[in-house]
Chains A and B, each alone.
Chain A
Amino acid sequence: MMGFDFSQIGPALPGLWDGMALTLKLLLMAVGGGVALGTVLALLRLSSNPLLSGIAKFYVNYFRSIPLLLVITWFYFVVPLVLRWITGEFVAVGAFTSCLVAFMMFEAAYYAEIVRAGIQSISKGQLNAAYALGMTYGQAMRLIILPQAFRKMMPLLLQQSIILFQDTSLVYAVGLMDFLNTARSKGDIVGQPHEFLILAGVVYFVISFGASFSVKRLQKRLAV
């Protein structure tokens, strides 16, 4: 039989980089949005208002109980409809935007649980001190509780984001050209699908493992 032939990878690099750029852009925006929405959900979940905390609880349980792939394909069809319903006119929504919304909303459910645990790990005395010094709930959260909570939970948030990095490859389902999809299609075109997929595998491994390793070191440093 034949050996592997990686000769076509060199010329394909600019295209592959475009794919990686899309993956990273999607990742960063999804992490930012996911953490922001997750923090709001965590605060609602911890609210003493049973309605608010019930809504947040339902949201988190719901998104943690359905497959990500379902959310991605579903949002691809639903997001344009919802926007149309809101704005009254047809808005063209690209696959990127619908994927971004899907990831943000899905990951928010996971980030919310991390943030909730982070907030709960800060002693009640901190909130009391902030209140005793005249701060409102919002000021106490923003200035005292969340900065400490985020520092504590940073390793967990990063670990979750590494999982998200791998999960971004699911966008192939709606035809978005992320890194994996680009590698697959380029490999198909030049007739070297295995070589390109091997390369993709190595790249995902190096990035994820490297990031994971860095997080562990960070965790040790924060623990001191």
Chain B
Amino acid sequence: MIRFMNVHKWFKDLHVLNDVSLTVAAGEVVVVCGPSGSGKSTLIRTVNQLESINSGEIWVDGKNVADPKTDLNALRAKVGFVFQHFNLYPHLSVLDNITLSPLMVKKMERAAADKLALQLLERVGLAHKKDAFPAQLSGGQQQRVAIARGLAMQPQVMLFDEPTSALDPEMIGEVLHVMKDLAESGMTMMVVTHEMGFAREVADRVVFVDHGQIIEEAQPEEFFMNPQHDRAKQFLRQLLTPMQ
């Protein structure tokens, strides 16, 4: 479904992605973790080309996204993206947030788009908030709406860029619950997160990124119980026991 082939990216002198190769199969859930500044957010943003790359290839659903001839809008319509800061449209109601792209990009009928949006709101447990505005929702609710908004395009892949990092602790669970639900429904997912409980329970594979390189790639149990690389060991130690 997604295949990175020798991807490089520089921000001026900084080598943010250094020869990254990775494959995410259809139906697979891959968690990407690593210290801040390691390039993991940049990595996930290259999949739908919110970030361009300098060399290498990224294939999504049989199309090379780095090829200038690829229709990026058509590609992005098939790839859902959930942001750390939700980025709901503040001037639109919850329902309009969800239906806007189906209506304008996919040219769906209004009635069908509304029906789909309500089904998705039901699925994330927020059908009663359809007429609310984003500012009236808690962070956790906003992120669930953002997930429904992404799903409304009926994507083949969902990308999550630290979806719970901006949330109060008591709201993280509700968002992870929706994501777990989604994973169990067979959605292909790539998730940048520090939620190791989620990784352990839901992920098929964990990828550890440091200094723009994938330095470890393993099944969750293996990664947590027996990390191979020193940097990964140190990272896990700090994550699990931050006070030491």
Contacts and interface: CB of A to CB of B under 8 A. Distances in A.
B48 A143 contact: no
Contacts of B90: 148
Instruction: Name B's interface SS.
Output: loop
Contacts of A128: 50, 83, 87
Contact of B73 (A123, A134, A144): A134
B89 A144 contact: yes
Contacts of B73: 134-136
Interface residues of B, number: 24
B128 interface: no
A129 interface: yes
Interface stretch (B59-67, B97-105, B206-214, B234-242): B97-105
B150 interface: yes
A148 B153 CA distance: 23
Contacts of B48: 131-132
Nearest to A142: B104
Contacts of B80: 132
Nearest to B72: A131
A133 B149 contact: yes
Interface residues of A, number: 17
A144 B95 CA distance: 15
A151 interface: yes
Contact of A132 (B74, B81, B88, B91): B81
A139 B85 contact: no
A132 B79 CA distance: 8
Q: Which of A126, A128, A134, A151 has the most CB of B within 10 A?
A: A134
Contacts of B89: 126, 129, 144, 148
Contact of B105 (A125, A139, A147, A148): A139
A125 B87 contact: yes
A143 to B, nearest CB: 6
A126 B87 contact: yes
Given A128-B83, A134-B153, A143 B104 contact: yes
A209 B31 CA distance: 60
B76 interface: yes
A131 B104 CA distance: 12
Contacts of B83: 125, 128-129, 132
B77 A133 contact: yes
A220 B85 CA distance: 27
Nearest to A137: B73
A34 to B, nearest CB: 24
B50 A131 contact: yes
A131 B87 contact: no
A134 B106 CA distance: 9
Contact of B101 (A123, A125, A135, A147): A135
A131 to B, nearest CB: 6
Contact of B76 (A126, A132, A147): A132
Contacts of A135: 73, 101, 104-105
14 contacts: A123-B87, A125-B85, A128-B50, A128-B83, A128-B87, A129-B87, A129-B88, A133-B77, A134-B74, A134-B153, A135-B101, A135-B104, A136-B73, A151-B91
Pick the 8 closest A-B CB pairs, nearest first.
Answer: A134-B77, A129-B87, A132-B81, A133-B101, A125-B87, A134-B105, A134-B76, A134-B73
